[in-house]
Structure 1
Amino acid sequence: MAHIPDNILDQILDRCNIAEVISGYIPLKRAGRNFRALCPFHHEKTPSFMVNPDKGIYHCFGCGAGGNAFSFVMKYERLEFPEAARMLAEKAGVPILEYTKDDSGKDTSLINGIYKAHELAAAYFQGILTSLEAKGVKEYLVKRGVKSETVNKFRIGFAPDSWDGLLGYLTKCDIAKEIIEKSGLIIPKQDGGGYYDRFRKRLMFPIFDQKDKVIAFGGRVLDDTLPKYMNSPETPIYNKSKTLFGLNFTKRHIGEKDAAVIVEGYTDLIIPYQNGINNLIASCGTSLTVDHIRLIRRHSRNIIMVYDSDKAGETATLRNLDTLLSEDMDVKIAEMPKGCDPDSFTRKEGAAAFEEILANPTGLFEYKLNRLLLRHKPDTIEVKVKVAGEMLVTISKVNNAVLRSAYIKRLAELLGLDENSLRSELAKPKKDYAASYSREAYISAAKADISTLSPADKTLIGLMVEDNTIIPAVKEKLCVAEFGCGAAQKIAENIFKIHDEKKPVSYACLISHLEIDGVGELLSDIASMQESLSDKKKNLDDCIKWLKKNNAKRDLEDMQRKIKAAQDTGEHGKVVDLVARYSKLMKESMHYYDKGVR
């Protein structure tokens, strides 16, 4: 992921009035110095969503949503941080691309050159398709039921039967051969004597990113030549494990219908799409990855898989099930009639017939079990155990305990196996059964850490942000490690760092600097707490004393554990040393208790 420096993020926030940003999405009403609205993130009748332009933050007192301008755009548009930052940078007029680097740390002149090469290549292929040279290709598209407006929307083109047609065109457009090669559009000759076009005599499908930029191509032959499909290699702008064909066109419809229909090929998406079935995405022969699923999950957790009815389609479906489940997706499978795929079926039977199939999908449990029973005739106990083992792998990925229990019960009934034995087998710490450490687990852990912030942590953080002049005094009395939990320590560390750089510390800049899930909600909540504080000087002193006392208490408890461990192992010399250190710690901490810090 490209890194955007903190100073550039601060520039974007400085130039973006958060009230103006949010009012572009929802109507705001002035309430004193703030603005009020109905929260866009939960249903409510009385406005509890507040926007504070002075602090650059928003906070909902109903659902707890909060953050800065980046947070709002991410949540509302369902974008990742870099995408939201770029969107706001464009609004603010901050030239963000020149400050970013790709994952290899390369200068973005290469990245921009590759984008330009792909855009020019798409235009070149489109131009060839409109020429007399491609008359047969246009007839082929008409025969396959692809409408002219669909050709234009998806920017379908044709690569001519030429070894250097595209190379010559891009060279005339002043694109350096190094850029063209790194774009994957040309291939070096084995004898080192130049290059030749990667795509020749193929129908060309541009692959887009989420901002509608061409980042790769898929090429299909029109005859029996192999390989039937040829795709772009991975490049600095194209990662196939993070890209889904058609999502740029269909993401809004997926969100509206709260379901994503996953098909396999380009035309499996294009033909139903032009006939009104518009909540599809295509995996294009690639196994679904965790990154693919997280892209989909921004828009819906409901998946309907529609792969071809042949053996390869069945294998692809089974292969993707566990990955989808491990990311907590609700998965169903729509089964095509034998010999059909979404493209051919929609052309032959019509969109209504395909919609009927989508409306009656099979549950993942039934689908996988039926396929396993067809593959392995369960006429012996050994085969039943084998089938049960494969089903347990899938069941272990189901996060809902009630549903998982129901699946176990059903599996036992269908295979004639003991239910308790299956439950015991599932409970064993087998590697195959262990659910992967998903982003949800990470988010839960991070939010759990945030939830452990003490009132003293919150108050002290808020006081420093509200009045930057007290930061040096806090830093002198408290080190980062003395704040109450990991999240508080990370926030304090950033406050001290920003202040040391002679920059103003604000809630808005902290939110964009910190990579902690839930930090926007936390800091917007802290900001709302500050308005109720009366004697801020007394609160500051009390918070520092409380944290000092709490650290002393933790140190004493840690020392007690060490003393007990040394006693248990009979290390008498170590016990004497630890007891002496314990006594010293106790004396040092007594004045916190004497002063009545609670």
Structure 2
Amino acid sequence: MAQRIPEQVINEIRDSLDIVDVVSDYVSLKKQGKHYSGLCPFHNEKTPSFTVSSDKQLYHCFGCGAGGNAITFVMEKDNLPFVEAVEKLAGKANIALPEQSGTAYQKEEDASPLWEAHELAARYYHHLLMNTEQGKEAYDYLLNRGVTVEQMETFRLGYAPNQPRMLKELLEKREFDIEEMVDGGLLFRRESSWDIYDRFRHRIMFPIHNAKGKVKAFGGRSLGEQEPKYLNSPETSIFLKHESLYGIHLARGPIRKKNQAVLFEGYADVIAASGAGVTNGIAALGTALSERQVQWIRRNTDQVLLCYDGDEAGQKAAWKAGALFEKEKVNVQVALLPDKVDPDDYIRKHGSEKFKKDILNSSVSITSFKMKYLRKNKNLNNEGDKLAYVETVIKEIVKLPGAVEQDIYLRQLAEEFFYHLMHLTKRKND
């Protein structure tokens, strides 16, 4: 028989959560006066009729009649019984539910010592960077790269010392299970000797947080010749790369407020962009963008700006990411960086204002980006290259959902070749 959760605990959970935050995990909401609106998640509609009131802590759909509070929303959307819906919201509010007659309300993974161990490691690495002689090389390196002290604090950057077992000894003193710390990625066992060492050594440390701000993994950048240059924590019971985005704990609010996410490729780009006032920036973790990451972004906004590196790899990644967002009906813009330049480098060389004006504010639609990308390395004076380009672009244009949008880009393609022909004629006449 299901156990009863005390009424005062239920009230505490309700008081600790804003229904707007709960619903935004599923629906992209836009502020309209005192309320928020979006497309109803309970029936198909093209015009938003679903409203959420932060003042009343209620939701209502004028189309299908659905309505209720945060608990009933989770029950309906996730098809959960009352107790499990409360459990889920308790986890979101970081409230531990009492255990009753064999019913554990808190998920096992939420109670994992790995959360505490990662928080301890983050504080340890950050202290070494900011306050010790050991961290001076890393500290000076970051300053020289344009990272301010405030950014080091905000992103909780750290330094892993060039010592084999300093973190291991700290974890042992705090009585953590060392084997569990190996499984959790903070330590590793060398197969040749079976000795256990710190996983990260002589690296600048980038804590990776979940959406609630809890540290669940690390990325480490080598300060010397050590390979690989970037080393991430392995996947663990609390960390899955394809479900994680760097900076989401800081950017989630600004993403919702601006109704746009700016997606970068790396940690340094997110940090540099924050110094330029881009507080809605996030990044994948050195791997191709996944459907799960795209779905998380879609739950928080229907607008995304891709700001990937200007090299070939970055542009290919932007193409693939754009396709995933288009599949999820997210409006995609692409910021165009010069060849072989990344956002971090551009900001350091040209400054924040030029980055915002010439890169972010001069972004183009995903279709315009594709046309530009397909034109690369094509000799449009060559009949074969020209035909191949036109055929490929038309294939992309006909995929667009609206006839008006298709017409705009077909006209743009025609005008492109009209001007190209005029240019060739002028050159011949000259």
Q: Is the CA contact 2:205–2:221 (under 8 Å) kept in the aligned structure 1?
A: yes
Q: Provide the residue aligned with 1:121 in structure 2.
A: 121
Amino acid at match of 2:176: I
Q: Provide the residue aligned with 2:82 in structure 1.
A: none
Q: Secondary structure at the match of 2:246?
A: coil
Distance (Å, rounded) in 1 between the aligned partners of 2:120 and 2:52:
45
Distance (Å, rounded) in 2 between the aligned partners of 1:187 and 1:268:
29
Deviation per CA, 1:150-202: give whole Å up to 9, x if none: 21221111111122222222122111112101111222211352222221110
Deviation per CA, 1:508-549: give whole Å up to 9, x if none: xxxxxxxxxxxxxxxxxxxxxxxxxxxxxxxxxxxxxxxxxx
Q: Secondary structure at the match of 1:16?
A: helix
Within a 5 Å distance, the mapping from 1:239-250 to structure 2 comes to 239-250=240-251
Distance (Å, rounded) in 2 between the aligned partners of 1:7 and 1:86:
19
Q: Provide the residue aligned with 1:528 in structure 2.
A: none
Q: Is the CA contact 2:125–2:205 (under 8 Å) kept in the aligned structure 1?
A: yes
Q: Secondary structure at the match of 2:112?
A: helix
What is the Cα deviation at residue 141 of structure 1?
Answer: 1.6
User: Are 1:151 and 2:116 matched, yes or no?
Assistant: no
Q: Provide the residue aligned with 1:41 in structure 2.
A: 36
Q: Provide the residue aligned with 1:504 in structure 2.
A: none
Q: Is the CA contact 2:13–2:93 (under 8 Å) kept in the aligned structure 1?
A: no
Q: Secondary structure at the match of 2:36?
A: coil
Q: Secondary structure at the match of 2:277?
A: coil
Amino acid at match of 1:186: L
Instruction: Rate the CA distance shift 1:42–1:321 in 2: closer, same or farther, 3 A.
Output: closer
User: Are 1:332 and 2:337 matched, yes or no?
Assistant: no
Q: Provide the residue aligned with 1:86 in structure 2.
A: 91
Q: Provide the residue aligned with 1:273 in structure 2.
A: 274
Distance (Å, rounded) in 2 between the aligned partners of 1:50 and 1:389:
47
Distance (Å, rounded) in 2 between the aligned partners of 1:74 and 1:309:
45
Deviation per CA, 1:208-237: give whole Å up to 9, x if none: 001100011010112454321111111111
Distance (Å, rounded) in 1 between the aligned partners of 2:264 and 2:370:
18
Deviation per CA, 1:23-73: give whole Å up to 9, x if none: 9679xxxxxxxxxxx972349xxxx9899x9xx986465884513332568
**Unmatched runs of 5 consecutive residues or more in structure 1:** 1-5, 27-37, 76-80, 102-106, 417-598
Deviation per CA, 1:481-519: give whole Å up to 9, x if none: xxxxxxxxxxxxxxxxxxxxxxxxxxxxxxxxxxxxxxx
Point out the structure with the larger helix share. 1
Q: Secondary structure at the match of 1:303?
A: strand
Amino acid at match of 1:41: Y
Within a 5 Å distance, the mapping from 1:125-136 to structure 2 comes to 125-129=125-129, 130-136=131-137
Q: Is the CA contact 1:250–1:278 (under 8 Å) kept in the aligned structure 2?
A: yes
Distance (Å, rounded) in 1 between the aligned partners of 2:299 and 2:75:
10
Q: Secondary structure at the match of 2:35?
A: coil
Which residue of 370, 388, 396 maps to 2:391?
Answer: 388
Q: Secondary structure at the match of 1:11?
A: coil
Q: Provide the residue aligned with 1:360 in structure 2.
A: 362
Instruction: Rate the CA distance shift 1:389–1:25 in 2: closer, same or farther, 3 A.
Output: closer
Distance (Å, rounded) in 1 between the aligned partners of 2:218 and 2:341:
25
Distance (Å, rounded) in 2 between the aligned partners of 1:170 and 1:381:
65
Aligned pairs, number:
379
Instruction: Rate the CA distance shift 1:224–1:40 in 2: closer, same or farther, 3 A.
Output: same
**Unmatched runs of 5 consecutive residues or more in structure 2:** 21-32, 39-50, 77-84, 419-430
Instruction: Rate the CA distance shift 1:395–1:179 in 2: closer, same or farther, 3 A.
Output: farther
Q: What percentage of residue pairs aligned between the two structures are identical? A: 33
Q: Is the CA contact 1:334–1:360 (under 8 Å) kept in the aligned structure 2?
A: yes
Within a 5 Å distance, the mapping from 1:131-280 to structure 2 comes to 131-280=132-281
Deviation per CA, 1:338-378: give whole Å up to 9, x if none: 44322222233222111112111012112112211213445
Instruction: Rate the CA distance shift 1:224–1:83 in 2: closer, same or farther, 3 A.
Output: farther
What is the Cα deviation at residue 286 of structure 1?
Answer: 1.8
Distance (Å, rounded) in 1 between the aligned partners of 2:397 and 2:106:
41
Q: Secondary structure at the match of 1:162?
A: coil
Q: Is the CA contact 1:12–1:88 (under 8 Å) kept in the aligned structure 2?
A: no
Deviation per CA, 1:398-441: give whole Å up to 9, x if none: 4445434644665577689xxxxxxxxxxxxxxxxxxxxxxxxx
Deviation per CA, 1:291-331: give whole Å up to 9, x if none: 11111122211111111112221222122221111111111
Within a 5 Å distance, the mapping from 1:487-498 to structure 2 comes to none
Q: Provide the residue aligned with 1:476 in structure 2.
A: none
Question: RMSD of the TM alignment (CA)?
Answer: 3.8
Q: Is the CA contact 2:115–2:215 (under 8 Å) kept in the aligned structure 1?
A: yes
Instruction: Rate the CA distance shift 1:328–1:383 in 2: closer, same or farther, 3 A.
Output: same
Amino acid at match of 2:197: Y
Q: Is the CA contact 2:90–2:97 (under 8 Å) kept in the aligned structure 1?
A: no
Distance (Å, rounded) in 1 between the aligned partners of 2:171 and 2:341:
40
Distance (Å, rounded) in 1 between the aligned partners of 2:323 and 2:219:
27
Distance (Å, rounded) in 2 between the aligned partners of 1:66 and 1:39:
17
User: Are 1:16 and 2:10 matched, yes or no?
Assistant: yes
Point out the structure with the larger strand share. 2
Q: Provide the residue aligned with 2:292 in structure 1.
A: 291
Instruction: Rate the CA distance shift 1:63–1:146 in 2: closer, same or farther, 3 A.
Output: farther
- After TM superposition, the score normalised by the length of structure 2 is 0.76
Amino acid at match of 1:366: S
Q: Is the CA contact 2:261–2:304 (under 8 Å) kept in the aligned structure 1?
A: yes
Q: Is the CA contact 1:187–1:197 (under 8 Å) kept in the aligned structure 2?
A: yes
Instruction: Rate the CA distance shift 1:61–1:49 in 2: closer, same or farther, 3 A.
Output: farther
Distance (Å, rounded) in 1 between the aligned partners of 2:260 and 2:58:
32
Instruction: Rate the CA distance shift 1:306–1:23 in 2: closer, same or farther, 3 A.
Output: closer
User: Are 1:371 and 2:379 matched, yes or no?
Assistant: no
Distance (Å, rounded) in 2 between the aligned partners of 1:215 and 1:258:
26
Q: Is the CA contact 1:39–1:60 (under 8 Å) kept in the aligned structure 2?
A: no
Distance (Å, rounded) in 2 between the aligned partners of 1:239 and 1:291:
10
Amino acid at match of 2:367: F
Distance (Å, rounded) in 2 between the aligned partners of 1:19 and 1:121:
29
Q: Secondary structure at the match of 2:146?
A: coil
Range 181-190 or range 10-19, more displaced: 10-19
Amino acid at match of 2:306: M
Q: Provide the residue aligned with 1:112 in structure 2.
A: 112
Q: Secondary structure at the match of 2:317?
A: helix
Amino acid at match of 1:244: L
